[in-house]
Chain A
Amino acid sequence: MTDPGPSASPEQAAAAGTLAARIALKQRAGGILVPVVTVVFALVMSGIVLAATQHSVHTALVAFQEIFDGAGLNWIFHPTTNLIDISAYNLSQTLLQTTTLILTGLSVAFAFRCGMFNIGGQGQYFVGLVVANWLGVDFAGMNPFAHILLCIVAGTLAAAAWAGIAGVLKATVGAHEVISTIMLNWIAFWVASWLFGAGGPLQNSTQPTVPVSNQVSSSARLPDFWGAQGFQGVHVGLFIALAAVVVFWVLLNRTTLGYEVRAVGFNPDAAAYGGINVKKNLVRAMAISGAFAGLAGALDMLGGTTNYQFGQLDIPFSQVGFIGIAVALLGRNTALGTLFGALLFGSLLYGSFHGLGSSAVIQPELAGNLTYIIQGLIVLFIGADVLILYVWNSRKKLRRPPANPAQPAKATAA
């Protein structure tokens, strides 16, 4: 891991008991081992479910191989840039999924590093998506570079402002960010449903009865860097997402802002004592967190998997903001970890929905649900640091300082 992660002493911070501090402790204790063990455990558990319900261990093993192939990961055995090759095509689609998940993962991770749980990535994603669609449709015929920039910047800023509401509420009246972001999620959900629904302001102007938006004009579409005629290619948003990973790392580890954000995440009281404006940093961290999710939404609208438009009926099935939680937790809220987490979940999502979707091994619909099970198990077990530490303790004598119940985890009280 090149990402050094939090630099303050994790043991001391853990005594203060904030969520970020506990995660930092786990990072020191488990290294890269914890997420790997969690993933393997989740895969084995879901494999047991598969084997038990299909009455065959062999079927379960083949199903996992199909997920692997379906995600295009078998591409490494015979690399080619020709999308007509099925493994290359599958890989390109996995990369599209990964692009979105990198950004929603970074969104959750950034808030975590400030000691906050941004569960509202889904709503912020919708805000970025809606704004990008609105501007992408309305300013047709602009200079493509200016148009794309306008859509991305506006979508990102709008989502930052949307998430900033939760930050302001937390900083001013102490409203818990989990509750406020859940509420903001559903408000964004229904407003987007209204905007794209029949009779809504952003609904398709040529087919008034179809609850789908207009297509983003060609001047606002992101160019593909890996594509072929008749295929959905991989757009340059992947590089924007990779750049965002670098920005995340630099922002957090090499700037005053990042130092203050992490300090507040470890221990708000100590940070305040050290002269850091805690309230300002809560709002700032939440807004930056929302910006990442909004960027994901904007990129998905301008390129990506939505075919340049979005429908009312697509909204309930969009889960990328929530999967970002699993991505960030698995990556232990570091830049590089989030990147790998996004790649794993991107592969799982595409591989199970589409790889198994065309196979005869198990019912296609089972596979998609299997991904939810794996995701749930990963989130459930990654949060159980005591269990993982216990396993770790039996290997290496590392004593966890007793948690002080008088100063409990900040991010958990609802």
Chain B
Amino acid sequence: MSTWAARLDNPLSARLRDPAATGALGIFLGAFAAFLAIPPIEARTVTWPIVVGIVAVALGIWTVSRGRRRLGWGAVAAGVLGIALGMLATRSSTENLGSAFDATLVAQTFSFATPLVFGSIAGMFSERSGVVNIGLEGMMLMGAFWGVYGADKGGSWVVGLLVAAGVGGLVALVYAFFAIHLRSDQIVGGTGVNFLAVGITGYFFVELYHNNPVPNGVSLLPNVRIPGLSGTGFFAQAIGDLNILTWASFALVILAYVVLFKTPIGLRIRACGEHPRAADTVGINVYAIRYGCVVLSGILVALGGIYLSEGPQGNGSFIFNMTNGRGFIALAAMIFGNWRPAGAFGAALLFGFSSALALKLQVYSSSAATLFQILPYVLTLIAVAGVIGRTVAPAADGKPYVRQ
């Protein structure tokens, strides 16, 4: 509180000259330089991106000279990147730009982000309680297959959801037994779960469906149409017709924040992840909390998985190994978001945006769109390298606890 008070007391001009503020402004202007050339602003000359980009670079250099090197170089890089992207955008045709940057891009960002949000919040519960869950990928795959199986046999997407959640929780329970009671190495155990999930889903996909797509007419996860938001308006296209699980993922972020940071149970979970011995001393059952969190994580990530097969993109069909690394991206989003719900949500949206944009970039060049897929991974690598602020894992994350 005192720092806030001190900041308020400072004259406005002093706060503006603060290197942290100039660096942040530089990064913002660098990003803005690129956006000047694309809809809805659509500057058609290259001048404005260059001017704004140069201002960003100048602010960056000023920030570096004031000692905030990391932030400053970030602003310089953002400025240069902004100029380059801005020049690229002004060279391409307006129709192409219009088809790439429109309201459906927003809708698709949310759609691509949904499984990542579920996965990253799932991983967060597990890791906040002190268990690394690298098996997210496998649990997501299990959710994708058994969810579609449940919807097919049960005749309703609700059954599919329940089956996916149940199977995800069950796999997580097995993993939790290995990680908590058997004190197996958690990375090795999680890797085992991933292999096992590929094998089990692949095996039963052949056994039950003979490698063919699930029969037509499977009950799908419905979209939620917002009354009064229809037609071709920006908001109608962006959020008027999102899937029910996409809305649920938004709610989940808020719920996860409240549970983890505003309730006694959240405090207990975090205590188990930071210092299980201390938690044990004050009477918290560390094993019970960790089991609960890992199982919850399996349930949540399986819901992300069913979105892949039963959501608008999967259309009710399962494909061998269809998660294709999304569980790992969810893990990356959690780390990128520094083990916090809002941060993970932001990272998931960023990664979803890059996937959606890669899809749209097909109009320019499919080979460039392929290359664009590396963006989330490069960003995460940069994040763990500590360029954009250091990410800090829970202190006891991944460390087996032995009761005494």
Interface residues, chain A, CB within 8 Å of chain B?
Answer: 19, 22, 49, 53, 117, 119, 169, 173, 175-176, 178-180, 182-184, 186-187, 189-191, 193-194, 197-200, 316, 322, 325-326, 329, 363, 365-366, 368-387, 402-403, 405-406, 408-409, 411-414
Please determine whether A405 and B399 come into contact, CB atoms closer than 8 angstroms. yes
> Is B237 part of the contact surface with A, judged by Cβ < 8 Å?
no
Closest chain-A Cβ to B265's Cβ sits at a distance in Å of: 22
- A275–B370 Cα distance when bound, in Å, is 47
- A371–B365 Cα distance when bound, in Å, is 38
Q: Decide yes or no: A409 and B191 within 8 Å by CB, A175-B385, A186-B377, A199-B366 being known contacts.
A: no
Across the interface, which residues of A come within 8 angstroms of B373, CB to CB? Answer: 190, 193
Closest chain-B Cβ to A329's Cβ sits at a distance in Å of: 6
Q: What is the chain B residue whose CB lies nearest that of A400?
A: B183
A interface secondary structure, majority: helix
Please determine whether B185 and A380 come into contact, CB atoms closer than 8 angstroms. no
Q: Decide yes or no: A191 and B187 within 8 Å by CB, A197-B366, A316-B324, A408-B396 being known contacts.
A: no
Please determine whether B178 and A384 come into contact, CB atoms closer than 8 angstroms. yes
> Is B381 part of the contact surface with A, judged by Cβ < 8 Å?
yes
A–B complex contacts, Cβ < 8 Å, 21 sampled = A119-B191, A175-B384, A176-B393, A180-B381, A183-B378, A190-B370, A190-B374, A197-B367, A369-B198, A369-B205, A373-B195, A383-B185, A384-B182, A385-B184, A386-B182, A405-B277, A405-B402, A411-B185, A412-B185, A412-B187, A414-B397
- B193, B196, B204, B380: the one within 8 Å of A179 (CB): B380
Please determine whether B192 and A380 come into contact, CB atoms closer than 8 angstroms. yes
B interface secondary structure, majority: helix
- A187, A194, A387, A414: the one within 8 Å of B370 (CB): A194
Please determine whether B371 and A191 come into contact, CB atoms closer than 8 angstroms. yes
Please determine whether B199 and A376 come into contact, CB atoms closer than 8 angstroms. yes
Q: Decide yes or no: A373 and B399 within 8 Å by CB, A169-B385, A379-B188, A384-B184 being known contacts.
A: no
Please determine whether B381 and A409 come into contact, CB atoms closer than 8 angstroms. no
Closest chain-B Cβ to A167's Cβ sits at a distance in Å of: 13
- A189–B373 Cα distance when bound, in Å, is 10
Q: What is the chain A residue whose CB lies nearest that of B369?
A: A194
Please determine whether A183 and B381 come into contact, CB atoms closer than 8 angstroms. yes
Across the interface, which residues of A come within 8 angstroms of B195, CB to CB? Answer: 322, 326, 372-373, 375-376, 379
Across the interface, which residues of A come within 8 angstroms of B277, CB to CB? Answer: 405-406
Q: What is the chain B residue whose CB lies nearest that of A312?
A: B370
- A264–B200 Cα distance when bound, in Å, is 38
Closest chain-B Cβ to A8's Cβ sits at a distance in Å of: 19
Closest chain-B Cβ to A318's Cβ sits at a distance in Å of: 12
Closest chain-B Cβ to A409's Cβ sits at a distance in Å of: 6
Q: What is the chain B residue whose CB lies nearest that of A22?
A: B185
Q: What is the chain A residue whose CB lies nearest that of B390?
A: A173
Please determine whether B402 and A413 come into contact, CB atoms closer than 8 angstroms. no
Please determine whether A376 and B189 come into contact, CB atoms closer than 8 angstroms. no
Across the interface, which residues of A come within 8 angstroms of B393, CB to CB? Answer: 176, 413-414
Please determine whether B202 and A368 come into contact, CB atoms closer than 8 angstroms. yes
Q: Decide yes or no: A413 and B397 within 8 Å by CB, A182-B328, A376-B197, A405-B276 being known contacts.
A: yes
Q: Which of A369, A377, A408, A414: most chain B CB closer than 10 A?
A: A414
Please determine whether B192 and A383 come into contact, CB atoms closer than 8 angstroms. yes
> Is B321 part of the contact surface with A, judged by Cβ < 8 Å?
yes
Please determine whether A380 and B386 come into contact, CB atoms closer than 8 angstroms. no
Q: What is the chain B residue whose CB lies nearest that of A166?
A: B381
Q: Decide yes or no: A197 and B370 within 8 Å by CB, A380-B193, A384-B178, A414-B397 being known contacts.
A: yes
- A200, A363, A382, A406: the one within 8 Å of B367 (CB): A200
Q: Which of B183, B189, B277, B393: most chain A CB closer than 10 A?
A: B183
